[in-house]
Homo-oligomer: A and B are copies of this chain.
Amino acid sequence: MDTTKVALVGMGTVGTGVARLLCEEGDRLAHHAGRRIELAKVVVSDTSKGRDIRLPKGVLTDDLDEVVADPEITTVAPLIGGLEPERTIVLSLLGHGKNIVTANKALLAEYGPELFDRARELGRSIAFEAAVAGGVPIIANISQCLSANQIMSLQGILNGTSNFILSQMESVGAAYADAVAEAQRLGYAEADPAMDVDGSDAAQKLGILAHLAFGARVHWRDIPRVGIDKLELADIQFADELGYRIRLLAVARLVDNELELHVSPTLVRANTPLADVSGAFNAVSVEGDAVGPLLFHGLGAGQMPTASAVVADLIDTVVGRTAITFRTLELWSRREAMVDARDFDQVPGRFYMRFAVQDHPGVMSEITGALGRNGVSIASIIQHESGRLGRDEVPLVLMTHQTTEGAAARAVREIDRLASVSAPSVRMRVHDAAVAGK
């Protein structure tokens, strides 16, 4: 049986998981790959540091040149994370003829075009299954298994940290800050979870999926996004009364040949597949014009789920499948975008709104008037007796009929200027199950 040598750069959580699979499950991987995969080198900055895994003698090194100089090492997974020095290392490895396997969505979201162009020039490949949705093989499914389809929509829960926090708030009634602390305690959130909870991480992943599925070329910073970091427990409770859960949903959807793109906390009807995604799980609902609705559900992060995706990419690369897919798809090539992003103002949707209003006559008429002037019509209203928000205010919660982002935003801005309303009001999208096909 042939042997192919691979290397890792970086040995944090994911790197250790990958090394464990390569070192401890060699027979299994050989069986699935039709050849032995030898972990020849692991490059780390400090070789004397204690590790959770014992590597064969000579594998651990602090010298990247040992990887670069070994022509038998054909494929390398840089697993440091962050933008630099990862970008420079990837470019250097490509330049020395190595194929790349990466789990770094931030790197692809920022430098995808540069890195993919360079790989193409040099006849190398970049595999990136682990960059989106961790262990859920959504990249392979979109780029390969669904190749007969025009994807019509993608709706994903792509950030496990946010989903864990939302699940905590909804299941134990924890306030946002307490839920974040619990997520940090359990290792589901980093010390600084800003990119996770403000929607940036999900937007980076959505940008990658939208490029794969629709040929869109939208920088993640241009994807309209709202995180869960301003979410109040009251809204989770009102959503529950209305029969909904709140999920941080990343959406890419073809509408009249334009691509609707956004990340936002969204009300999803309870007991539907996306609402049932709990804790650190991820899920992606895909609608293809031939295949219809498909749902993929699994762990979106964590050492071994992510390692599962990295090792699958290593196998695909050494057996030659990645090279074919990479050549075929021409990702981030200089080709023009196949679809343009829809003006966010024009994106359709139903909305949940919560206003803190003074409990006196005439307020309701002012609010409904402002909605009406902006063409927003009301589907349902909840107004409880006063006392819930404390002070002299009462919460007024309503669900709109179908309107647009622009109209809903303008209505809320107008309402926020009313003397009898305490700004800022809350506005969230409501998931349209009919469009999701399920």
At the interface, yes or no: A288 with Cβ under 8 Å from chain B? yes
Nearest CB of B to A98, in Å: 20
Contacts of A307 in B (CB 8 A): 148, 290
At the interface, yes or no: A294 with Cβ under 8 Å from chain B? yes
At the interface, yes or no: A316 with Cβ under 8 Å from chain B? yes
Q: How far is the CA of A296 from the CA of B329 in the complex (A)?
A: 24
Q: Does the CB pair B292–A294 fall under 8 Å?
A: no
Contacts of A321 in B (CB 8 A): 144, 321, 324-325
Q: Does the CB pair A308–B295 fall under 8 Å?
A: no
For A, the interface residue count at a CB cutoff of 8 angstroms equals 57
A285-341 contacts to B, CB under 8 A, are 288-299, 302, 304-305, 307-312, 315-316, 319-321, 324-325, 327-330
Q: Does the CB pair A292–B288 fall under 8 Å?
A: no
Nearest CB of B to A431, in Å: 16
What 0/1 readout, one digit per residue, does chain A (99-132) give for beta carbons within 8 Å of chain B? 0000000000000000000000000000001000
Which B-chain residue is minimally distant from A303 (CB atoms)? B290
At the interface, yes or no: A81 with Cβ under 8 Å from chain B? no
Contacts of A25 in B (CB 8 A): 148, 150
At the interface, yes or no: A45 with Cβ under 8 Å from chain B? no
Contacts of A296 in B (CB 8 A): 294-297
A residues apposed to B, CB below 8 Å:
17, 21, 25, 28-29, 32-34, 129, 135-137, 140-141, 144-150, 271-273, 276, 288-299, 302, 304-305, 307-312, 315-316, 319-321, 324-325, 327-330
